């Protein structure tokens, strides 16, 4: 045996030497092969198995590097376990390997050993091992067979670790025990553990303040300083609300569930009693932006609107004995933000995160970053060495990629899929990779493929609960119930302590109506998890309401006092089920007090009182609700109207049948296929600014097309349909029968000559984001399609309020009358034919008769609201910062901005989704180019401001009512003052610093808090022009050799470049000749084409081409008539109508054409007289020609500004364009000898 062992050892040494020699040898026959580090380590381990350092390095390399094989880590790990059994890292590595290959029980044993060995160490690596082991054990404690042992060990370590464990590890232990305590039904134990952790368990809370969720993060609200009042005004429409007491679930407080539910800024306050002076760690956990004050001094600001720092963090503070107040400000879009605050004396184990110096410590650091909510930093840690990692590190990287908040879903999936493919190639026994392959397939709709994958492998990993559970879930989704149910035993074997396994048994029993099994599994589930509602549901199904009530009280006792409101609904149900209406009513009143903005609760209480004959108290209840929470109770006004108690439209309704009779009697002959006989609306505005609207419409159906269009009726979203009927020509009335589940309502037997009548109502409420302002919308009295026989709107509002009314078009003045303190304002037009939609007209709202109303709908409010929407949509990604720096390079800010601008236009497709997250757009290379550019500029510290401009074609009517629809063009201002550069986007070939003509000189507003209006520059932001030069050598037979040079600047250059990019280079000459040159000059043959500065979009585009033209003109008698190239035909394009009724928008034209014709010997020609024509708004046309020897020069220059031509000035435009066309059409005659 000795000799054999020695021989084996020598053999291993020989192998190592051989490998070394091979690595060192070279030769002329072939290039030397590089021996990988993993192979060197394997060889050294074979040679020196007792070398602890070699074994440890090999184990780490197998488990964490791309060249390793996690399956081969077992040999060095087994050797290490025998050589150094007291090293925590060895047991932790064994646990990772065992877990990776599905041996969960063994993995749990190893993590317990690692925790025991490392718990008192203060080395950075051991502290990380402790936290990692706790996390793994916490997950195992929920389902593995050794769960009782794990739970007990966690409790022991928690008790023993109070004086030496770092806050991270101690908190994770306690957090796990808190969950276990709740599952055991012991809330008192959970709270005791939270207090041991140093967590605050009670808070005073007030909020959310508004109007803005995140823009108001810097705004100082009253609770920020000084002693708190009992109640605070939260802002417009949010009301004055009392300070609430909130208890935690363990360490976490949920700050919502107040009387006003919504986003905004919430304040929480708690007090810690410090027993002795010393250094303490203040720990805060929340995924929101926060400010923290300790005893009135600000100690932390974490702004997650522009970056994603960890969601849990600590601040070191020095404290004296006694009480210390912590005040926290939370800004969130979530209506129920979560917060955890803890204070604990600093311990020896409170050390920094382990540094990533080896593959193993990189893995440990990445785990710790993820556990603190810093997914992005963890991703960056791996991304830097992405191709070097493997095994457990690669598996961890997959989980990070799949949860990356700054990557789009499809990119996350694609990236994860590529990484999983690598992992499977490295280790086919990695169950996680197999499960993820199936899960990704299922997520993309390939469920059968996912099922096949898991069917192949579910027997390989009997201890991996997730594999069996996922397969069962997919089978159930596809309806394979029998096969899914056969997996129940496997599920129980994989998770003997799993509550979810019991849930699966229970759901199967319910589906199969096995009542005895339902009772048994319900009891088992509650025994497993005391927070389960299984027994409550069981008793309710059996109508055992007393038992259900007892079970509900047991569940409620596990919850905090402030969260008892969630049980009131069930209590009400049980009281009604038991016939105790008095108790149900009392509970409804209690729930109403907790949720004062619920109109449904008011309606329920009203219904009860009304049914009991208590009508006066019932109506008084509605009156109180409308006074206290008017904006939330608008539907109660509809209830009052339905009951006839308070009809807001009283005296304003129209008899539809009478209206039809009047229409028929009028005998107006409309030729259109449909006629809007009546378009009538009543808007009742209340003192709280909410409004109810009644709409009454009647159509006359005169064509088969109209029958098809109106035969199916769609109720407008949010509207309550009051009447829908068909009125036959003979007066017969037919009402449709709605079909459940059908989106539209079919009108019976609709035919030509019939009438369709519909009445519906809806409500509108003020906007909290606009600080209680309301935009009532626009009523338009005609359209371009159908005649309006009678179109009318009536506004009814208290004289105490003053809505702003904005009337447009040829709308007659309103009639205004006073009725019992109400103002009745009526607008009406009759017998309006559809106006003609004239080409190139201004926005229809500038001339169509319409009226719009609003109250306090101001520009400053709408600007702040837009800023709030965008304030957290440019979250910095470290990878993108590096990319931005690489693209921008060095130099002045303007140069760096220009490089980023060009990169964005060339690499990011301009698509929809302007308000999305810029980081996701950049990663997807699709989205708003202007938003991506601003994001990148910010990453390299180049300041920019987003502007929204009012384009030349937008509605230009002056208005006091703010409207985003007027400012739709996004412009970015880079820098400030005279040196600012303005850019737009929307394509690839746009010059830097160029603004399209339709926004030059336009008004724009700045998107930022307090943003104002600015005027965009008109000069220095680019030009749009086209210049052409034609050099022709005319021959006696009429043919000619031409050299044409086109110079395009601005819009035409962009258009040409866009077109050129679409053409295959090999086909460019052919397509240019056929599609362009031969159309300009019939029969032309292209001899040479040169495109100048095609790729330099900041320079004009030059197109130079040479043509052979068989006929440069045409013969007319004895004369040869030269062609006039590049004619504009202004009259046909701009003034084809004899007159206009609407203002016309005329686009800018800046163009010069110069043609030089060298005549053949002996030929003669005459120069034409010069022509100069002036048009509206400075438009100018000039044409001249000269003859110098044989050289005939013809020039035409056109300058037309972007302008609006009102109908009164249209005649001038007609004169101008016709005169220009006439001048252009004059023949240039050449006579050959």
Read off the pLDDT of each residue in 756-776 and give the average, rounded to a whole number.
95
Read off the pLDDT of each residue in 320-343 and give the average, rounded to a whole number.
97
pLDDT, residue 20, reads 32
CB 443 within 8 A of CB 413: yes
CB 465 within 8 A of CB 114: no
* SS3 label, residue 1213: helix
- Judged against a pLDDT cut of 90, whether residue 215 lies above it is answered with yes
What does the domain layout of the chain look like in residue ranges? 198-345, 360-429, 656-855, 862-1015, 1025-1231
Tell me which of 44 and 737 has the higher pLDDT.
Answer: 44
- Judged against a pLDDT cut of 50, whether residue 396 lies above it is answered with yes
Place of tokens 């932001």: 1021
Read off the pLDDT of each residue in 174-196 and give the average, rounded to a whole number.
96
Read off the pLDDT of each residue in 442-469 and give the average, rounded to a whole number.
93
pLDDT category, 5, cuts 50, 70, 90? very low
pLDDT, residue 1207, reads 96
pLDDT category, 35, cuts 50, 70, 90? confident
- Judged against a pLDDT cut of 60, whether residue 434 lies above it is answered with yes
Q: Which of 91-100, 664-673, 869-878, 1011-1020 has the lowest mean pLDDT?
A: 664-673
pLDDT, residue 737, reads 82
pLDDT, residue 11, reads 35
C-alpha dist (Å) from residue 557 to 509, 548, 551, 590: 29, 14, 10, 18
C-alpha dist (Å) from residue 493 to 183, 463, 468: 21, 7, 10
Tell me which of 17 and 513 has the higher pLDDT.
Answer: 513
pLDDT category, 1042, cuts 50, 70, 90? very high
- The residues pairing with 1014 across neighbouring beta strands, listed in sequence order, are 1004
Q: 500: which 2 tokens?
A: 């979810």
H or E segment and range at residue 1091:
strand 1085-1092
Which CATH fold would you assign to the domain 862-1015? C8orf32 fold (3.10.620)
pLDDT, residue 349, reads 86
- Judged against a pLDDT cut of 70, whether residue 604 lies above it is answered with yes
pLDDT category, 1232, cuts 50, 70, 90? confident
- What count of residues does the chain have? 1233
Cα separation, 1215 vs 1219, in Å, equals 6
pLDDT, residue 2, reads 34
- Judged against a pLDDT cut of 60, whether residue 959 lies above it is answered with yes
Read off the pLDDT of each residue in 615-643 and give the average, rounded to a whole number.
93
- The residues pairing with 755 across neighbouring beta strands, listed in sequence order, are 700, 727
Read off the pLDDT of each residue in 786-805 and give the average, rounded to a whole number.
96
Q: Which of 243-252, 285-294, 745-754, 898-907 has the lowest mean pLDDT?
A: 745-754
* CATH tag, 1025-1231: 2.60.120.1130
Reference 970, options 1024, 918, 1039, 1036; nearest CA is: 918
pLDDT, residue 32, reads 52
Which CATH fold would you assign to the domain 656-855? Immunoglobulin-like (2.60.40)
- Judged against a pLDDT cut of 80, whether residue 471 lies above it is answered with yes
* SS3 label, residue 921: helix
pLDDT, residue 6, reads 30
* SS3 label, residue 783: coil
CB atoms within 10 A of CB 849: 20
pTM over 0.85: yes
Q: What is the pLDDT of residues 563-593, one digit of tens each?
A: 999 999 999 999 999 999 999 999 999 999 9
Question: If 0-12 CB within 10 Å is exposed, 13-18 middle and 19+ buried, where does residue 501 land?
Answer: buried
- Judged against a pLDDT cut of 70, whether residue 4 lies above it is answered with no
Residues 6 or more apart from 709 whose CB is under 8 A from it? 674
- Judged against a pLDDT cut of 50, whether residue 8 lies above it is answered with no
pLDDT, residue 130, reads 96
Read off the pLDDT of each residue in 282-300 and give the average, rounded to a whole number.
97
Read off the pLDDT of each residue in 540-561 and give the average, rounded to a whole number.
96
Q: How far apart are the first and last CA of the chain?
A: 121
pLDDT, residue 748, reads 79
pLDDT, residue 414, reads 95
pLDDT, residue 29, reads 47
CB atoms within 10 A of CB 746: 13
Read off the pLDDT of each residue in 815-844 and give the average, rounded to a whole number.
95
pLDDT, residue 749, reads 87
Asked if domains 198-345 and 1025-1231 share a fold, the reply is yes
Architecture of domain 198-345: Sandwich (2.60)
In the predicted model, what is the mean pLDDT of the chain?
A: 93
- Judged against a pLDDT cut of 50, whether residue 1060 lies above it is answered with yes
Q: What is the pLDDT of residues 680-701, one digit of tens each?
A: 999 999 999 999 999 999 999 9
C-alpha dist (Å) from residue 411 to 330, 389, 405, 877, 953: 32, 20, 11, 15, 39
């Amino acid at each position: 045996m000795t000799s054999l062992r020695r021989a084996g050892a020598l053999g291993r040494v020989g192998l190592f030497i051989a490998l070394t020699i091979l690595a060192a040898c070279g030769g002329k026959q072939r290039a030397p092969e590089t021996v990988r580090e993993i192979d060197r380590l394997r060889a050294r381990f074979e040679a020196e198995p007792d070398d602890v350092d070699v074994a440890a390095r090999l184990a780490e390399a197998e488990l964490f590097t791309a060249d390793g094989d996690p399956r081969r880590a077992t040999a060095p790990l087994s050797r290490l376990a025998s050589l150094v059994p007291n090293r925590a890292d060895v047991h932790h590595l064994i646990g990772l390997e065992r877990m990776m290959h599905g041996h969960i029980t063994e993995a749990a044993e190893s993590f317990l050993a690692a925790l025991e060995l490392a718990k008192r160490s203060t080395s950075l690596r051991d502290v990380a091992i402790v936290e990692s082991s706790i996390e793994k054990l916490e997950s195992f404690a929920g389902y593995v067979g050794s769960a009782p042992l794990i739970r007990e060990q966690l409790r022991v370590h928690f008790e023993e670790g109070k004086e030496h464990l770092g806050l991270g590890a101690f908190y994770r232990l306690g957090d796990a025990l808190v969950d276990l305590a709740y599952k055991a039904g012991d809330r008192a134990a959970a709270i005791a553990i939270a207090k041991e952790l140093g967590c605050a368990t009670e808070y005073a809370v007030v909020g959310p303040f508004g109007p803005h969720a995140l823009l108001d993060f810097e705004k100082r609200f009253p609770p920020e300083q000084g002693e708190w009042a009992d109640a605070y005004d939260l802002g417009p429409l949010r009301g004055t609300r009392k300070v609430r007491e909130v208890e935690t679930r363990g360490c976490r407080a949920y700050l919502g569930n107040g009387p006003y539910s919504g986003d905004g800024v919430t304040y929480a306050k708690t007090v810690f009693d410090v027993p002795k002076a010393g250094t303490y760690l203040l720990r805060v956990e929340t995924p929101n932006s926060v400010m923290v004050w300790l005893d009135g001094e600000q100690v932390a600001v974490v702004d997650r609107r522009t970056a994603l720092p960890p969601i849990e963090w600590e601040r070191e503070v020095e404290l004296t004995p006694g009480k210390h107040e912590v005040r926290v400000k939370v800004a969130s879009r979530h209506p129920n933000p979560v917060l955890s605050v803890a204070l604990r004396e600093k311990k020896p184990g409170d050390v920094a995160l382990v540094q990533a110096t080896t593959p193993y410590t990189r893995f440990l650091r990445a785990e710790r970053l993820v556990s603190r909510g810093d997914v992005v930093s963890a991703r960056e840690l791996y991304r830097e060495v992405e191709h070097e990692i493997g095994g457990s590190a690669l598996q961890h990287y997959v989980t990070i990629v799949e949860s990356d908040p700054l990557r789009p879903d499809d990119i996350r999936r694609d990236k994860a899929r590529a990484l999983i493919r690598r992992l499977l190639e490295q280790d086919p026994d990695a169950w996680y990779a197999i499960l993820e392959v199936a899960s990704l397939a299922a997520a993309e709709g390939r469920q059968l493929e996912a099922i096949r994958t898991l069917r192949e492998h579910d027997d390989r990993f009997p201890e991996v609960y997730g594999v069996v559970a996922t397969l069962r879930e997919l089978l159930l989704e596809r309806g394979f119930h029998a096969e899914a149910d056969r997996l129940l035993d496997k599920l129980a074997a994989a998770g003997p302590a799993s509550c979810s396994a019991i849930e699966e048994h229970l759901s199967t029993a319910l589906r199969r109506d096995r009542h005895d099994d339902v009772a048994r599994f319900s009891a088992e589930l509650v025994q497993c998890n005391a927070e389960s509602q299984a027994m409550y549901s069981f008793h309710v199904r059996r109508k055992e309401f007393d038992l259900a009530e007892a079970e509900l009280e047991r569940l409620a006792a596990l919850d905090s006092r402030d969260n008892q409101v969630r049980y009131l609904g069930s209590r009400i149900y049980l009281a009604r089920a038991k016939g105790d209406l008095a108790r149900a009513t009392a509970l409804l009143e209690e729930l109403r007090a907790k949720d004062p903005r619920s109109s449904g609760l008011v309606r329920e209480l009203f219904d009860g009182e009304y049914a009991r004959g208590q009508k006066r108290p019932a109506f008084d209840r509605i009156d109180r609700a409308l006074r206290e929470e008017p904006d939330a109770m608008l539907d109660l006004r509809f209830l009052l109207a339905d009951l006839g108690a308070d009809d807001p439209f009283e005296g304003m309704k129209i008899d539809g049948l009478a209206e039809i009779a009047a229409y028929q009697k009028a005998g107006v002959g409309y030729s259109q296929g449909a006629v809007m006989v009546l378009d009538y609306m009543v808007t009742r505005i209340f003192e709280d600014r909410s409004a109810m609207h009644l709409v009454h419409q009647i159509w006359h159906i005169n064509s088969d097309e109209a029958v098809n269009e109106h035969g199916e009726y769609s109720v407008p979203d949010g509207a309550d349909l009051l009447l829908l009927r068909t009125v036959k020509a003979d007066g017969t009335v037919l009402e449709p029968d709605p079909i459940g589940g059908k989106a539209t309502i079919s009108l019976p037997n609709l035919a030509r000559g019939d009438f369709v009548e519909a009445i519906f109502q809806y409500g509108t409420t003020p906007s909290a984001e606009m600080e209680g302002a309301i935009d009532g919308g626009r009523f338009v009295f005609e359209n371009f399609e159908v005649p309006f026989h009678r179109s009318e709107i009536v506004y009814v509002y208290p004289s105490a309020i003053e809505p702003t009314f904005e009337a447009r078009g040829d709308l007659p003045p309103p009639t205004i009358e006073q009725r019992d303190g109400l103002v009745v304002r009526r607008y009406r037009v009759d017998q309006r034919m559809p106006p003609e939609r004239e080409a190139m007209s201004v926005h229809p709202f500038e001339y169509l008769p319409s009226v719009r109303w609003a109250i306090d709908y101001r520009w400053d409010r709408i600007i702040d609201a837009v800023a709030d929407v965008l304030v957290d949509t440019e979250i910095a990604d470290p990878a993108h910062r590096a990319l931005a720096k690489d693209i921008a390079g060095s130099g002045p800010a303007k140069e760096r901005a220009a490089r980023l601008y060009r990169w964005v236009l060339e690499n990011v497709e301009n698509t929809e989704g302007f308000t999305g997250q810029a980081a996701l757009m950049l990663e997807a290379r699709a989205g708003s180019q202007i938003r991506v550019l601003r994001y990148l500029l910010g990453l390299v510290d180049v300041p920019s401001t987003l502007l929204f401009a009012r384009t030349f074609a937008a509605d230009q009517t002056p208005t006091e009512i703010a409207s985003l629809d007027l400012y739709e063009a996004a412009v970015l201002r880079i820098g400030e003052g005279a040196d600012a550069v303005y850019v737009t986007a929307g394509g690839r070939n746009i010059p830097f610093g160029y603004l399209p003509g339709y926004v030059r000189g336009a008004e724009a507003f700045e998107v930022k808090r307090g943003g104002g209006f600015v005027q965009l520059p008109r000069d220095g932001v680019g030009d749009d022009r086209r210049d052409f030069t034609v050099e022709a050598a005319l021959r006696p037979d009429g043919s000619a050799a031409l050299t044409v040079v086109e110079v395009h600047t601005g819009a035409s250059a962009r258009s040409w470049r866009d077109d050129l990019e679409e053409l295959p280079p090999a086909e460019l000459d052919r397509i240019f000749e056929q599609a362009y040159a031969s159309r300009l000059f019939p029969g032309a043959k292209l001899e040479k084409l040169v495109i100048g500065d095609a790729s330099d979009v900041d320079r004009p585009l030059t197109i130079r081409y040479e043509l052979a033209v068989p006929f440069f003109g045409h013969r007319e008698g004895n004369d040869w008539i030269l062609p006039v190239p590049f004619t504009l035909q202004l009259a046909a394009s701009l003034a084809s109508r004899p007159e206009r009724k609407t203002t016309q928008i005329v686009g800018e034209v800046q163009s010069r054409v110069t043609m030089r014709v060298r005549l053949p010997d002996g030929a003669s020609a005459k120069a034409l007289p010069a022509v100069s024509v002036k048009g509206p708004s400075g438009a100018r046309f000039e044409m001249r020609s000269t003859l110098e020897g044989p050289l005939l020069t013809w020039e035409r220059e056109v300058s037309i500004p972007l302008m609006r031509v009102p109908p009164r000035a249209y005649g001038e435009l007609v004169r101008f364009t016709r005169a220009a066309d006439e001048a252009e059409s004059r023949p240039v005659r050449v006579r050959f000898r």
